[in-house]
Amino acid sequence: MRKLTIVGAASALMLSIGPAAEAGLVTVGLQDGATFVSCADGAACDTNALPGVVTFTATFASVTVALSGTGSGPPAAIPYTLDITYNVTTLATAAAGTDIISVSLQDFAPISGISWTGHVGGTNTNGSIATFQSFADAGNTLFGLTTSTCGPVTSGASPFALTCAGGVQNFLANFSQTEVITVVRPNGGITSATGDALQTPSVPEPGTLALLGAALLSAAGFRRRRKS
């Protein structure tokens, strides 16, 4: 039993070092008020031909509000990374409201000791306010918001640039990630909000993990020799 435990620990470390195999489709979601629409990579609504990248535009309330987002993830981005570029445009007839632009991807491979850093920048006009937050979901649910991994960070400035960092997370099974931009806009007047949000992963250094794994395997061999 003791031997199996040591070998299992070393295997888990090598899993953290090894390449991630993401099999899900990048999906962009656009929401104005209670109305939510989404578009997956390669669907008819996706106007970007690149694999791992989705560009999706939708209009709401008789085109008083137009939302668009370009979301990307693996294979277009490095493993465990998500990126979204967003644009919100309203006409003068639009009432005050809240718009949400998000990108999500399922089936990130299990990993231990991972954390994320987020960077978001853009512009706000006519009093709009933008908030960025990212999430991970151990249930591997698309647009799952179970665990906050970065943020929220908020700005009403124009232009603005914000960063955030999250705590260390461990995932024993496939999981999903989601980035969310929330734009709150005032009543009346032409409003626009544009920007880009990127979250990048930080994992334990491979050299450190390899040394620890080698130490565990060496300890296992020493125990076997001692028992003999």
Distance from C-alpha of 144 to C-alpha of 171, rounded to nearest angstrom: 14
Distance from C-alpha of 74 to C-alpha of 51, rounded to nearest angstrom: 8
Q: What angle do CA 128, 133, 137 make, to 5 degrees?
A: 145
Cis geometry, peptide bond prior to residue 75 (ω within 30 degrees of 0): yes
The 10s digit of each residue's pLDDT in 156-186 is 999 999 999 999 999 999 999 999 999 998 8
pLDDT of residue 205: 53
Lowest mean pLDDT among 5-9, 97-101, 106-110, 222-226: 5-9
Average pLDDT of the residues of the chain: 80
Amino acid at 6: I
What CATH topology corresponds to 22-204?
Jelly Rolls (2.60.120)
CB 191 within 8 A of CB 126: yes
Distance from C-alpha of 147 to C-alpha of 173, rounded to nearest angstrom: 15
Residue 211: pLDDT band with limits 50, 70, 90: very low
The 10s digit of each residue's pLDDT in 50-98 is 888 999 999 887 556 777 787 877 777 788 999 999 999 888 888 888 9
Q: What percent of the chain has pLDDT over 70?
A: 78
Tokens 């008083």 sit at which residue?
A: 64
At residue 222, does pLDDT exceed 60?
Answer: no
Closest by alpha carbon to 51, among 69, 25, 29, 70?
25
Instruction: Indicate the helix (H) or strand (E) that contains 153.
Output: strand 147-155
Helix, strand, coil % (nearest 5) of the chain? 15, 50, 35
**Domains of the chain by residue range:** 22-204
At residue 228, does pLDDT exceed 60?
Answer: no
CB 181 within 8 A of CB 195: yes
What DSSP state is assigned to residue 80? T
At residue 223, does pLDDT exceed 90?
Answer: no
Cis geometry, peptide bond prior to residue 74 (ω within 30 degrees of 0): no
pLDDT of residue 66: 77
Instruction: Indicate the helix (H) or strand (E) that contains 84.
Output: strand 82-90
pLDDT of residue 96: 87
Residues counted in the chain = 228
